[in-house]
Amino acid sequence: MAGRYWMVVGTFLLALLLYIDRICISVAKEPIVQDLNLSDEQMGWVLSVFALGYALFQTPAGILADRLGSRRVLTTVVTFWSLFTALTGAAWNFTSMLVVRLLFGAGEAGAFPGISRAVFSWIPLQERGLVTGINFSGSRLGAAVALPVGAWRFLTLGWCMCFVVLGAVGVVWAVVWYLVFRDDPTEHAGLSVTEQDFIRANRQQVDPAVAKEPLRAGSLIGSKNMWLAMGQYFCSNFTFFFCLTWLFPHLKEKYALETLEAGFYASAPLVLGALGNWFGGWWIDRIYRQGNWTLSRRLPAAVGFGLAAIGLVVSVYMQTPLTAIIFLSIAIFGADMTLSPSWSFAVDIGRQHAGAVSGTMNMAGNIGAFITALAFPYMQSWTGSEVPFFFVGAGLNVVAIFLWLFMKPEKQLEEY
């Protein structure tokens, strides 16, 4: 295996851990609500406050990754969020849980911007789509595993101890990453000279004089590409974050399922999401190699958002958990097809500022996630039905298709 792919293994495992840590709070909803005496609306705030912390620290974390390198930044943020993963088990009331989950989200904010900066330095441009898809598939597989396995572990160990164990696993990853990874492939003693030369020749090139220029706030704020990327990613996260927060309790309550049964049903869309990441990444690299950079980003994203809209609308008319999950799985497959184009696009236009640009895009996406976690329980309470929520999600996916028509990956941040 080429040396650069071992780096991808490390980032894949990080994404796996990232979402195991993140989704376990949803699996533990019932015992947490009972032990801390929370209402559904309060639990909605517990789930959404993570997304708020995650969103607010995306751009600062990305800037740090660009300046300090992925080695130090990822080591630090993984250690930080692992501490607050463990402390989740020590929360004793609504307020303490809000504070812990806010800080947990702030820590996780540095993960994908740090990974994006590593991808810019290590991965040739023609491999960027598939590598990005592999990384994000780790997050979906982590969430898929966490739902049934987490449900079983919570029943056997209790929810408090499970969070402590997950925190310890994160610290182990951080130590190994610091010892093994280097910010530039030319600094890695285990990489052959042949592979170093191949990476340097095929990764996205930046003028050395331009590379030293700091990122200006005006370049971010004034870029049409940046605003379009943020808008479509908001729409994507509005759909996907439902799976990480309310899908498990929604299925359990609506169809009167047992805990483990609900966990297996809720994991299916996440497995399809991983496949959507792989397919989307493979497709954009295939189109790119045919010489069409712009279409390689736009077409997979547009098809993905179309599938997401259809899947959400049809799922609300299904009468059994199996048929509902089939169409929700189609929706998440489509939504996750859009991730590789989105993050490849952010690295395309961000270049040496890939961390900051991808972090800013992810900030907008997680504002969508923050709204999702609150919108579902509140809209259901106001209307007496979950149907309006799914139609809003479908409408946002249609909007995202039109946003992609104006996005230009070949244009640098300052040019468009």
Is residue 414 domain-resident? no
Q: How far apart are CA 63 and CA 354, in angstroms?
A: 9
pLDDT in tens, 32-43: 777 778 776 777
| pLDDT of the residue at 152 | 58
| pLDDT of the residue at 224 | 85
pLDDT band at 206 (very low <50, low <70, confident <90, very high): low
- CA-nearest of 198, 385, 393 to 313 is 393
Average pLDDT value over all residues in the chain:
79
Give the angle subtended at the CA of 229 by the CAs of 224 and 232, to the nearest 5°.
125
**For residue 330, pLDDT beyond 80:** yes
| pLDDT of the residue at 347 | 79
Is residue 415 domain-resident? no
Q: How far apart are CA 173 and CA 57, in angstroms?
A: 22
- CA-nearest of 18, 23, 7, 17 to 267 is 23
Give the mean pLDDT of 315-333: 85
Q: How far apart are CA 313 and CA 154, in angstroms?
A: 33
Cα atoms in the Cβ-side hemisphere of radius 13 Å centred on 352: 16
**For residue 204, pLDDT beyond 90:** no
4, two tokens: 């650069």
Q: How far apart are CA 303 and CA 210, in angstroms?
A: 35
Give the angle subtended at the CA of 13 by the CAs of 7 and 14, to the nearest 5°.
90
| pLDDT of the residue at 307 | 93
351 or 175: whose pLDDT is higher? Answer: 175
On the 0-12 / 13-18 / 19+ scale of CB atoms within 10 A, 291 is exposed
Give the mean pLDDT of 361-390: 78
Residues 6+ apart with CB under 8 A from 120: 203, 204, 347, 350, 351, 352, 354
Residues 6+ apart with CB under 8 A from 218: none
Q: How far apart are CA 178 and CA 254, in angstroms?
A: 45
Check: CB of residue 349 under 8 Å from CB of residue 410.
no
405, two tokens: 């028509």
Lowest mean pLDDT among 132-136, 267-271, 361-365: 132-136
- CA-nearest of 263, 276, 283, 369 to 330 is 276
Number of domains in the chain: 1
pLDDT band at 348 (very low <50, low <70, confident <90, very high): confident
pLDDT in tens, 208-218: 555 556 666 66
Give the mean pLDDT of 103-125: 82
Is residue 303 domain-resident? yes
Is residue 56 domain-resident? yes
Domain hosting residue 127, numbered range: 3-404
Is residue 411 domain-resident? no
The CATH number of whichever domain residue 61 belongs to comes to 1.20.1250.20
